Amino acid sequence: MKVTFIDLQAQYRSIRDEIRQALERVVDSTNFILGEEVERFEQNFAAYLGAKHCVALNSGTSALHLALLSLGIKEGDEVITTTHGFIAPAEAISYTGATPVFVDINARDLNLDVSRVSDAITDKTRAIIPVHLYGQPVDMSGLMKIAGESGIPIIEDAAQAHGAEFLTERGWKKAGSIGEVGCFSFYPTKNLGACGEGGALVTDSQEVYESTRMLRNHGQKDKQYNHPFIGYNYRMTAFQGAVLDVKLKRLDEWTEARRARAALYNSELKDAPVKTPGEFENRRSAYQQYVVMVKDREGLMTYLQEKGVETGVYYPQLIPFQGAYRYLGHREGDFPVAETCARECLSLPLYPELEDDSIRYVCDSIKAWAKSV
Ligand SMILES: Cc1ncc(COP(=O)(O)O)c(C=O)c1O
């Protein structure tokens, strides 16, 4: 049997007509940048998340960059973030001239270890960027407590967590809507994926909203070529706004499908020698990925490949150990939990249309591998 890691065609087939109509509408309008299609998506995405405002952008990296700028982060400042994951949050911190301060993850949820954050705070700390990695929410109650006590704002990187939820004192909240700003990517393989690059930030802050709207469009205040400060060209195209609005309507359905598939993996793998993702009563993962930990990762990957099962490694090298951050002088042993995770994490196929039989085949193959070694 062949089991692909991801199948974007399957999703496209189910909404082909709507997507093509949306794209055609944009072509016919000849209104290609921002405009009504993007505004409609901004309103709907903000409402979906329970946030006051949404600013649509050209990528998730731009969202992180503008979130930091809007909070006044600049050279000389420090921003705390996670060690294991995609490099974008660290890069966004670097774009502002600030320094990323890396904190180890915890083995339970593979996210920023909130119990270590207080020790990393100095008099230069100006923000914290937790990343809801693989769709699993960070322990936001612990983090919001630290934010409340220290006054340091939280920028949530929810690039992999559209639709994920965390139980707060005010009830279930969507990832990205809990901190000061929430940042999303619509890269095509994300749970809510554009037909190209895309991103957005959401916030309840009027100030952040107004400044990021200007920053995304060359710092322009109005349409009169009035530029009070230097901005960027981080605008979303109308094609992406139109497509994302079609897909947003299906997001909950797709998220439930991901959760059902993750539950099947969990039950099929309960006796297998792999560690399955953490499940928490106060969190609902959006399962952007289904990641297990296994000591002999290479052995299992090779075996599964021979059985026709595609897998992936996200991410084999920690951010502080990348060449880009060598200047910070981190060494092996600085982040023991994340280092183990980088050696042992293995992503199994997961997408909303994945058949149960395929999941059972993957799990049977894992159990057969375990018996053979
Ligand atoms: C956790 C995380 N943050 C940020 C980004 C950056 O998003 P984009 O590729 O849209 O710039 C990504 C994209 O993969 C991501 O996974």
Among the candidates 220, 248, 276, a domain finishes at 248
Task: Say what the pLDDT of residue 224 is.
Answer: 83
Q: Is the pLDDT of residue 344 over 90?
A: yes
Does 235 share its domain with 261? no
CA dihedral 254→259→262→264, nearest 10 degrees, is: -100
Does 185 share its domain with 319? no
pLDDT digits (tens, 9 = 90+) for 137-155: 999 999 999 999 999 999 9
To the question of pTM greater than 0.75 for the whole model, the response is yes
**What CATH number has the domain bearing residue 107?**
3.40.640.10
State the Cα–Cα distance between residues 280 and 257, nearest whole angstrom.
Answer: 18
Tell me, rounded to whole angstroms, the distance of Cα 318 from its chain centroid: 16
Task: Say what the pLDDT of residue 204 is.
Answer: 98
Q: Is the pLDDT of residue 223 over 80?
A: no
Pocket flag, ligand 1, residue 59 (CB < 6 Å):
yes
Does 298 share its domain with 223? no
Spacing, Cα 86 to ligand 1 middle (Å) = 7
> Per the omega criterion (within 30 degrees of 0), is the bond before 95 cis?
no
Does 20 share its domain with 160? yes
Q: Which atom of ligand 1 is nearest to the CA of 131?
A: 1
| DSSP at 237 | B
Non-local (6+) Cβ contacts of 171 within 8 A are none
Cα separations (Å) of 348 from 5, 33, 180, 266, 373? 7, 37, 33, 12, 20
| DSSP at 79 | E
Rounded (5°) CA angle 137-142-148: 120
Task: Say what the pLDDT of residue 222 is.
Answer: 79
Task: Say what the pLDDT of residue 79 is.
Answer: 98
* % residues pLDDT > 70 (the chain): 100
Q: Is the pLDDT of residue 76 over 80?
A: yes
Pocket flag, ligand 1, residue 315 (CB < 6 Å):
no
Is residue 89 within 8 Å of 265, Cβ to Cβ? no
Spacing, Cα 255 to ligand 1 middle (Å) = 19
Is residue 312 within 8 Å of 290, Cβ to Cβ? no
C-alpha dihedral sign at 31, 34, 36, 38 = positive
Among the candidates 248, 263, 280, a domain finishes at 248
Pocket flag, ligand 1, residue 11 (CB < 6 Å):
no
Q: Which atom of ligand 1 is nearest to the CA of 64?
A: 4
| Segments forming the whole domain that contains residue 317 | 251-372
Cα separations (Å) of 74 from 69, 184, 201, 268? 7, 22, 19, 49
- Could you tell me if residue 2 is inside a domain? no
